Amino acid sequence: MAVTVQKHERPPIWRNTTILKWTAQIAFLFGFLAIVAVVVPQVQDNLAGRDITFGWDWLTSELGFLIREGIDTDPATGARTMLVGMVNTLRVTISGVIAATIIGTIIGIARLSNNWIVNKLATVYIETIRNVPLLLQMFFWSAIAGTFVVLDPFDPDTLEAGKYWVAATSKGIGLAWIQPWGGFYQWMIWVLIGAVLGYFLHRRQFRIKEETGRETYPNLSAFGVILVFAIIGWFAHPIFGFVGTIVEAIGNLVGAIPTFALQVVLAVGAIAVGIWWINRFLDERRTPAGLAKLTDDDWFRMITAGVVAVGFAAFFLIVSGFSAKTLDVGEDFFSRWLAPKFDSTTNVADITIDDIQAQVAAGLSLEQIAAEQELRINADLLGLSGADLDAAVAARTPAIRIYENLPEKPDERLTFIPAHKLVEGLTAGVADNLNTLVENDGITPTELATELRLIQDRADNPLRWSRAEVQIRGSNFLDLSPTSGINITPGFFAVWIAVTLYTGAFIAEIVRAGILAVSKGQTEAAGALGLTRAQSLRFIILPQAFRIIFPPLGNQYLNLFKNTSLGIAVAFSEIVSVGFTTSNQTGQTLPVILFWMGFYLSGSLILSAVVNFYNRRLQLVER
């Protein structure tokens, strides 16, 4: 039998699919680049026409506008301004995520309740919140917050200055709050040790429970261990005062690393990651029969990965500023930020009423006493050597003068002091404040001493209870003291409650769908085993539902993160709002937009990486 074999003919070049594909792609890429090449000079021309040059100088120069709230309301540089905005965004995001998860879970379960009224209430909540624009809800809460006047929930008619558990004025909501105090960081070491031990205890108890069926209370015992360590640490925390020295040594070590070393390490790391990726990629295409034929797409991927890795390596090697800055930030973090937090006992002025009275009798003014005490506390942080301080104190130089002669503006550094808020009244303008205190408010030396005792307290207790303080400004204008309790500004309140309720409604639907997706047999089997409804929900349904709920939940968290950007509409100083003001002040629109993109992109990528990581751990391993 004759077999006719058609001779394989190569198609003409304009019919070769590989060539056609790549021609089209490269043509498209060139078209795209051509558009970019047209637009970029256009933008430059336009900017030049308005006397603006694209640049990042604004990051290091002072912008000169105040921010309503955040870790620093009068930031010294543009970079710090953006940092305040970022921290505000993260604050509202994290608290919103926690609250929305709780609300969403409760409503989602309520939505499935057999109880008619609970079921209907949950439905009404979801359908109302979900179908109204988020921005409108934010406006609504903001309008509500503008009308708050409740100082004392038990006596709503009170309108007096003073300290309150809850105080809601049109300037915001003040709540009593537990503030970290002097010994907080030492105490946290104890708690951490307790947590680690508790974790291992929990594992052990749980194993025993699973193996023998004996009730070993794993949760309770782990919690107990942490509690015991927290209680011991409450009294014994000064033991860890030495940690500060170690941390400082680490900081110095980081500072001693030559920039070039880090550059090389980073570059080598980038190359290594590239090689690892390509290797893994090839492994995936390797079958028992050998390496599968690589398509042009595969080659493209590998080459791209290689080029990107080399590009990063080149970046690290050429731009030494990046590594230098990284090392700088690392050193600052350890030496300037973390180390002083463990230093409470060494620098605290130990002063008693008798001392003060003695000094007053010796002819020292109150302002000099207070300034001296305060200087002793802050000397280290201000970069003063002990000898300088002693000399200054001996010369009875007024504190304000010492501040002025410092190499750096003290306020910048003072923002790193955890308890600075408490002495802020003394720090900002020592002389002025004390004079006011003594002359206008008639404060006595005894009271001042008590005030100063507070400073000593911070060495003693890890935490401190602080109530919201209402002040009266002008004739009848209620304001919240920034230093007591915790203050929630109307903007924060509006954004937080709006995103929480909004995301909560979506999470509720996800939770409901997740629970419904668990097969009905599971519930019935749990019932057959004699578990109660609550038990079957807790041990059978929810753990399985969680696996289904988790990925969409991560999406909702991302949405919440992005939705906080609406804060610009209700005067909440998050990143978009702060950036918008910055771009108006400096005209640097494009850099600010790039900054936003960088921030949100990295935030989204980190969050989705975390979600993906846990999702992979949660998935049932099949096959």
Distance between CA atoms of residues 280 and 291, nearest Å:
13
> Any contact of residue 531 with other proteins (CB under 8 A)?
no
> Any contact of residue 200 with other proteins (CB under 8 A)?
no
CA 76 to each of CA 72, 204, 400, 415, 425: distance values in angstroms, whole numbers, following the listed order:
9, 52, 20, 11, 20
> Any contact of residue 576 with other proteins (CB under 8 A)?
yes
Shorter beta-carbon distance to other proteins: residue 175 or 569: 569
53: left (phi over 0), alpha (psi -120 to 50) or beta: beta
List the 172-175 sheet strands across, edge first.
166-169, 172-175, 486-488
- The residues near 12 (Cβ < 8 Å, ≥ 6 apart) are none
> Any contact of residue 121 with other proteins (CB under 8 A)?
yes
Q: What are phi and psi of 586, to 5 degrees?
A: -105, -15
> Any contact of residue 24 with other proteins (CB under 8 A)?
yes
Shorter beta-carbon distance to other proteins: residue 179 or 563: 563
Q: What are phi and psi of 164, to 5 degrees?
A: -135, 155
> Any contact of residue 562 with other proteins (CB under 8 A)?
yes
Helix, strand, coil percentages, rounded to 5, for the chain: 70, 5, 25
Shorter beta-carbon distance to other proteins: residue 32 or 260: 32
> Any contact of residue 127 with other proteins (CB under 8 A)?
yes
Q: Which residues pair with 488 in a beta bridge?
A: 173
104, 504 Cβ separation under 8 angstroms? yes
Shorter beta-carbon distance to other proteins: residue 219 or 357: 219
Q: What number of H helices and E strands is found in the chain?
A: 25, 10
> Any contact of residue 304 with other proteins (CB under 8 A)?
yes
399, 481 Cβ separation under 8 angstroms? no
Residue of 11, 16, 19, 25 that binds other proteins (CB under 8 A) = 25
Residue of 66, 132, 236, 239 that binds other proteins (CB under 8 A) = 132
Beta strands 172-175; 486-488: pairing state:
antiparallel
Angle at 62 between CA 58 and CA 64, to 5 degrees: 115
> Any contact of residue 580 with other proteins (CB under 8 A)?
yes
Shorter beta-carbon distance to other proteins: residue 118 or 232: 118
Distance between CA atoms of residues 453 and 458, nearest Å:
9
What is the size of the binding site for other proteins (CB under 8 A)? 65
> Any contact of residue 47 with other proteins (CB under 8 A)?
yes
> Any contact of residue 363 with other proteins (CB under 8 A)?
no
Q: Which range binds other proteins by CB under 8 A, 130-138, 172-180, 330-338, 420-428?
A: 130-138
> Any contact of residue 21 with other proteins (CB under 8 A)?
yes
> Any contact of residue 612 with other proteins (CB under 8 A)?
no
Q: Which range binds other proteins by CB under 8 A, 73-81, 139-147, 241-249, 361-369?
A: 139-147
Contacting residues toward other proteins, per CB under 8 A = 14, 21, 24-26, 28-29, 32, 34, 39, 42-43, 45-47, 49, 113-118, 121, 127-128, 130-137, 139-140, 143-144, 215, 217, 220, 295-297, 300-301, 304, 562-563, 565-566, 568-569, 576, 580, 583, 589-590, 593, 596-597, 600-601, 603-605
